[in-house]
């Protein structure tokens, strides 16, 4: 057996597991980006984050056990390693297929989540401060307003009470609002005491278009990462099967005792 090659492969799995684990922790810890809006509004994303943490930890453990089995020629450890890798790979493929075929349902759920957030947005509500700050960050960074457009903010209860004479500062395309990225800004000259979103100095693009554009721009990177992960997993499965076939007898005395 080419042991240096074996070491490299299993070290790759340790790194892969750490990356997956870190990504799951980042989803839970992120409080400023679009991920924060989703994970604070949708229990399914939180569940997904915990699954990623579990898969990452399991991948790191499997990398260690696989390396131990390969170095000490323990067939049962290699078999366990192969089985867990196969389960992880099948789970990833199944998750990808579910996301692909349920994308319209997920899009509707996302529209509902953001719509409810915009409707109930209130700068004086400290209970929802983190969620509202995350959405303000999204609108500021993407240079967008609302989900489908600025008209979404006409459903906001606070703005309705103000006859639309104010607008979300994070939507602003005016240079004077650059230092303000949360809460509501007042219109300079209200039209007869009332206004509509068309009177606001805000971005025309809705955040849905911005998010879709970001996904399209980064689709190659996303697919590349997913493909790379799948290739590494397949490589590990092939390697473990190959090593199993080359082991003619097992000596369990080689396994380190605790």
Residues 78-132 have pLDDT tens digits of 788 788 888 888 877 887 777 777 777 777 878 888 898 999 999 888 888 878 8
SS3 228: helix
Contact 67, 7 (CB under 8 A): yes
**Is residue 117 in a domain?**
yes
Please report how the helices 75-101 and 43-72 are oriented relative to each other, as an axis angle in degrees rounded to 10: 150
- Domain holding 90, by residue range, is 73-254
**Is residue 215 in a domain?**
yes
The pLDDT score that the predictor gives to residue 190 is 58
Task: Locate 184 and state its tokens.
Answer: 């509501």
pLDDT category of residue 1 using cuts at 50, 70 and 90: very low
**Is residue 83 in a domain?**
yes
**Is residue 42 in a domain?**
no
Residue 139 backbone dihedrals phi, psi, to 5 degrees: -65, -35
**CA nearest 172: which of 147, 203, 197?**
203
**Is residue 45 in a domain?**
no
**Is residue 217 in a domain?**
yes
**CA nearest 89: which of 10, 16, 35, 39?**
16
pLDDT category of residue 252 using cuts at 50, 70 and 90: very low
**Is residue 112 in a domain?**
yes
Rounded Cα gap, residues 104 and 111, in angstroms: 10
Give per-residue pLDDT as tens, 82-95: 888 888 888 778 87
**Is residue 202 in a domain?**
yes
> Number of folded domains in the chain?
1
Rounded Cα gap, residues 103 and 94, in angstroms: 14
């Amino acid at each position: 057996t080419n042991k240096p090659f074996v070491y490299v492969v299993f070290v790759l799995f340790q790194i892969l597991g750490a990356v997956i684990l870190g990504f799951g922790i980042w989803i839970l810890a992120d409080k400023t980006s679009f991920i924060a809006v989703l994970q604070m509004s949708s229990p399914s994303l939180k569940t997904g984050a915990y699954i990623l943490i579990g898969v990452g930890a399991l991948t790191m453990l499997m990398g260690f056990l696989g390396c131990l089995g390969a170095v000490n020629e323990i067939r049962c450890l290699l078999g366990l390693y192969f089985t867990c890798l196969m389960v992880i790979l099948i789970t990833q493929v199944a998750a990808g297929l579910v996301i692909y075929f349920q994308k319209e349902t997920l899009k509707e759920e996302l529209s509902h989540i953001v719509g409810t957030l915009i409707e109930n947005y209130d700068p004086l509500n400290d209970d929802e401060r983190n969620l509202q700050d995350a959405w303000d960050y999204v609108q500021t960074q993407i240079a967008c307003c609302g989900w489908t457009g600025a008209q979404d903010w006409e459903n906001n209860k606070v703005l309705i009470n103000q006859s639309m004479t104010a607008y979300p500062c994070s939507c602003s395309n005016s240079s004077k609002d650059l230092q303000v990225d949360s809460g509501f800004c007042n219109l300079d000259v209200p039209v007869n005491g009332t206004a509509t979103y068309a009177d606001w100095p805000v971005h025309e693009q809705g955040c849905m278009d911005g998010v879709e554009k970001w996904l399209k721009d980064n689709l190659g990177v996303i697919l590349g990462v997913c493909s790379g992960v799948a290739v590494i997993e397949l490589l590990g499965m092939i390697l473990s099967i190959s090593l199993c076939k080359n082991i003619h007898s097992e000596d369990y005395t080689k396994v380190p005792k605790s």
